[in-house]
């Protein structure tokens, strides 16, 4: 399914989610309640073999835990500017996305030449 995490990432995302939960100082029930999810949801996805969260639910959890889905899924800690860029990019038409990518590639290439 397109809204689920790939089984390849199972152990890593669970470790990161557990770590963020511990850092929050909140119980699983508190986080679920704040995220608008069933109180047992975190226990279900963390403890049941093969259980994977839907991306929309993972976003809710990430918001409550003050992290990002990108960090939970990939371990990439994107800052606020990168998160904003991604949000703006996804709101664009395919044609505008192509144009933005072209500009960014050009700017990156020019930066590489200046640094060299």
Q: What percentage of the chain exceeds 90 in pLDDT?
A: 57
Burial environment of residue 43 by CB neighbours within 10 A (0 to 12, 13 to 18, 19 or more): middle
This model's pTM is above 0.75: no
CB 91 within 8 A of CB 100: no
Mean pLDDT value of segment 80-98:
89
The helix/strand count (H/E) of the chain reads as 7, 0
pLDDT at 97 over 80: yes
- Residue 11 pLDDT: 58
- Residue 50 pLDDT: 84
Q: Is 50 helix (H, G, I), strand (E, B) or coil?
A: coil
Mean pLDDT value of segment 104-110:
91
14-48 confidence digits (pLDDT tens): 999 999 999 999 999 999 999 999 999 999 999 99
Q: Which residues pair with 4 in a beta bridge?
A: 54
């Amino acid at each position: 399914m397109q809204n689920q995490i790939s089984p390849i990432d199972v152990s890593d995302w669970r470790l990161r989610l557990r770590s963020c939960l511990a850092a929050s100082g909140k119980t699983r029930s508190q986080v679920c309640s704040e995220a608008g999810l069933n109180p047992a949801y975190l226990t279900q996805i963390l403890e049941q073999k093969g259980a994977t969260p839907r991306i929309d639910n993972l976003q809710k959890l990430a918001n409550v835990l003050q992290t990002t889905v990108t960090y939970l899924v990939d371990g990439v800690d994107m800052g606020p500017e990168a998160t904003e860029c991604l949000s703006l990019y996804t709101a664009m038409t395919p044609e505008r996305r192509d144009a933005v990518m072209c500009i960014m590639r050009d700017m990156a290439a020019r930066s590489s030449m200046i640094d060299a």
